[in-house]
Structure 1
Amino acid sequence: MSVFQERNPGNGEGPHRVAVLVREGVMPMELGLAHQLFGYAESPEGEPLYEVVTCAPAPGPVPTDADFPIHVAHGPEALEEADTVLVPATHVADETETDGTLPPPLAAAVARIRPGARIASICTGAFVLAAAGLLDGRRATTHWRSVDDFRARYPGVEVDPDVLYVDEGDVLTSAGEASGIDLCLHIIRRDHGTAVANTVARRTVVPPHRDGGQAQFIPRPVPPAQRSSTGNARAWALRHLDRPVSLGEMAAQESMSVRTFTRRFREETGQTPVQWLTRQRIDHARQLLEETDLSVDRIAADAGFGTGASLRQHMRAVIGVSPRAYRRTFRVQPASPAVP
């Protein structure tokens, strides 16, 4: 018996069939958002545009990463009828994350996905797609904390660590848990247009489109304390971010020629001095946007970009958002005074 309802025989069409393939350790948020977002998508006549079912390699109770399990009524047979298969992440490491292969039950389930079905992942669900060979030679993304591990295990995949999601047509991947919302809204928008996606976003009280990518959520790195032949120059540059800093001035801090300094700098940081300096200016601007009410022009001056236009250009290039959008998201509000 079909796990999906029969399609409407009157017009040969019916709700788009979405199967959510879960594993032990699934995150309830990722599972719930798929059902809610696709469940809210309706035609102008109020008819559901999607039908969503949850399935697992074996039906029955499935532990989550919370303190409660879920009961999954459907097994992998649901994948044979699905138009779209969505693979959420799990917090329980299996062969997919440890040696790059699919455990036999999961491999057997994935093999039942019908040809032509669209396949998408949320967060580290991308490891499943990669282990199944579905991402070979394609662009993909995953949570920024897992990017290095992902690259090491699947060198044939072109990983973009900065974006919220990647659409490769029949295969889509998204970054962290909340990026699953962006991905589902994108799929709805692609299938049924902006008006339907915006209505779903309003009902869910989320933005229909988020600016930028996950680069804006990656913590600013703190340089490790170590002996360095260019460390004094970097420390000096950080004290003078509010003014132009030349390569010759930095090299002079270490009594080196520009050529030697540039070579040593790249060996120690993996970047050119100009690339490093730009990143430090952006990080300083991010801190001021988060912690102060200074104007964008004043922050641009304090961070050494000179003008607000230059700061906007550099922030969009590096982290994908404008200073104003970044401040809206990350501004630290002062604590309210205690009421006596």
Structure 2
Amino acid sequence: MNTPPSPPGAERTDGSSVRIGVLAPLTRPGWAEAGRHLLAGLELAVGEVNGAGGIGGRPLQLLVRDTAADPRKAAAAVDELAGLGVAALAGEYHSVVARAAATRADALGLPFLCSSAVLDALTEQPTRWVARLSPPQSRGWQLYADFLLGAGHRRIAVAAQPSVYWASGARILRDHLAPRGGTVIDLDMGALTPTAVCDELVDRRATALLLLVGHPEPAVSIVQSVRRDQRLTESLIGAPAGQPEFAEWATSLGDDGAAIPFLRYLPERLSPLGARVGAALRERLPEAPSFVAFEGYDTITVLADVLRSHGPDRALTADSWPHVAVEGTRGRIQFSRTPGISVWQWAEAPVQVVDRDPAAPDRFRILHAG
């Protein structure tokens, strides 16, 4: 398996350390920038845990595996890491990949704290082994639908590629909008060019276009086509999955990438802990830290608290999810059972709809929160 460089000592398996297996997309076609932010948060927190004495005097170490957005690689990595004796799994950004990892972790009896994937159904059946920090897709995308309605949009087109994640998002939008007078118009990006998307928006009188597609392509080409079409100057472009959060988006699109609302998982104001961690992350990253970096930090904060209390026993870790009460960078983290969600869920994770300010694309504007 292709394994990226890991922190010094991360691959020691001599029993002197408490090891956490990490899954993250660090190469294409995975969103490598998201993976890099996730890993930065994880590594920062590990450094602080070890600086405070580790886990019962034993250092905490990360064994990092690159999923490259491939569910099969993720499942194989779970098997490998379980065999290496990790106390728990952490990470992953892509929802479909996290689902494969969660399914395998459940089968093996390996605790998995999912950092940043939102697909509601991470496992087919309720499981004791998996917990999640990021809010479920249904909560975030329903909030996004409310934002669209509040902004006056009733005819909403979705430019979508085939994916369980995109299909789930479109279904959530449709189910939430229809009873409230909204209509979702499906645009199949397997059949349409970016120019044809513009024609469809005009012909079908859509006032908003949501990008349920990969980045950089075809997302960048669609945005550029819509921005340059004089018929669509009043049209809203949205990206609920969060593509505009990352610097790569601004680099690819420049001013065209502003005023495109997306979901992110930060509070309106960071706590003192969040502000301190944000400053430390900024020193590790070549750009401002995304919400994914904070999710990474909070993941280790939770796991370290559990491991300090019970040691690296997998069954005891899984049994600890309902008893977690930890101050994270974005609020107090506690897990509960949520209707329709098969894993232990942080139900109070903050959710915002934000965009990049056209007057200053490096600055974000909060448009809606819940």
Q: Shared fold (TM-score greater than 0.5)? A: no
Structure-2-length-normalised TM-score:
0.32
- Bigger radius of gyration: 1
Report the TM-score when normalising by structure 1.
Answer: 0.34
Greater fraction of residues in strand = 2
The one of the two structures with greater contact order (alpha-carbon pairs below 8 A, sep at least 6) is 2
